[in-house]
Structure 1
Amino acid sequence: MANRGGFNCTCWRMQRRFFVGGNWKMNGSLHNIDEIIGFLTCGPLNPDVEVVVAAPALYIDYASKKLPPTVAISAQNCYKEEKGAFTGEISPAMLKDVGCRWVILGHSERRTIFEESDELIAEKCAHAVENGVSIIACIGEQLEERENDLTETVVFRQTKAIVEKISCLEYWDKIVLAYEPVWAIGTGKTATPEQAQDVHKKLRKWLNDNVCPDVAKSVRIIYGGSVNEKNCRELAKKEDIDGFLVGGASLKPEFLKIVNATAGM
């Protein structure tokens, strides 16, 4: 699969801008969202960091109109079709219609609770980028898989499924990979900076060997898993950690410290 036929491996972007995403999950109300928007507006937010927050679908339009212009809005999920008889789903076309240009796909909660397969997630990823919506594509292993030394097997398999559906090299400019070890999400446990860096470095090597060297150099690989104001700076120092996907902490003012983790480095 390395340097697949038809791909012209031209370097279009070598600099990786630090990226911090806030996943609000199924939390919030109009009042809560106003509070979050309040501290995001007051800041400060490092201008060198790309900040995206993922609101529940009902609140995407409301939040997008009130967020400061330096913070983009994201959806937490979308489907693989433009329209049709898919009750309860939303499409990338609908997201764009309300000014939403980002979506999280493949989150561990979608994979485990809703039993979404690697193939379905890959199809959704491909449909989103093909229709102009950038994606935060999540991958990561369960605790049992890590304990059985299957971390690389799992994250490479999940990444490979996405790679095989991405038909055009340029679409990688719309993809952020989020490594989220499932055992560290919402548990208070966090991969050490060394553990996270090890997986990120191996993922970048896998992309180099199986997609294209330029994609490997330019794609942002971010870390998610109980990131907080205490551990963010040490994680951010690692060469291959290009940002964070933050859950519960994104609902609180400490999110600002996470956004500013690279300030002064």
Structure 2
Amino acid sequence: MYIEVEKGIHVFVEDINPGGQNNKTIFFVHGWPLNHNMFQYQYNVLPQHGIRCVCMDIRGNGQSDKPWGGYTFDRLADDIAVVLETLKLENITLLGFSVGGAITIRYMSRYKGHRVSKLALVDAVSPSFVKDPDSPYGVPREQADALINQMYVNLPVFLSGLSPSFFNRNLGNATNDWFVNMALDSASYALIKLLQVAANENVEKDLSQIQAPTAIFHGVHDQLIPYKSAELTNQRIKNSKLFPLTNSGHGAPICQADELNKLLIDFVNS
């Protein structure tokens, strides 16, 4: 289905197992440079346990509209708010992956956790993507700028080179091709703008505003958002618990799907 989040701009939303037996719902927010299909290993399993899975493509990505603007954390959090309101979702678990983690954190702060009973962060870009005094484990700004510049030059080559560092182990050429093809469903300018926002914004001040029980799932071998960043996020969200995923890099929903699924089922039902 498509939901209008502002005049003339629609985002794609998929609702899997809307008749979930135990009335538990996870709302998934994907990360850069992917779309909602990155969570296929969750969609295959969680509905079997009565969990309704609602997922959206962030504007500019996947099947959503691809406007030139509107890629700030505030605007993307507003998009989530419109979707939750339109679908009348209540007491959900809000799950954000990578940059989607930063966006869900901003939503929790900006909307005071409205409609959300629990927050799940998976390999989240938090507290910041770029290193600064309050978040010393991010990448140097020069590295972030180099990543952005590569997208202007040759996006397919850039994505092909990124894929192996996204995963902790060699999952084969087919998985790498799947990753690249999914990313190429996005507008190239949207990918650039999202990474620019991640490099220039942060959620450091948002973390202390989160009141909901929070589970932080993070790959200990993450090369993009170091595990120490997850430890820092854990320290700054009062009611949070950190779950290390010992066989995962940045792509935990794919690298370690079985364990993550079990942890999510336990968290949702706790």
TM-score w.r.t. length of structure 2: 0.34
Greater RCO structure (CA 8 Å; 6+ sep): 1
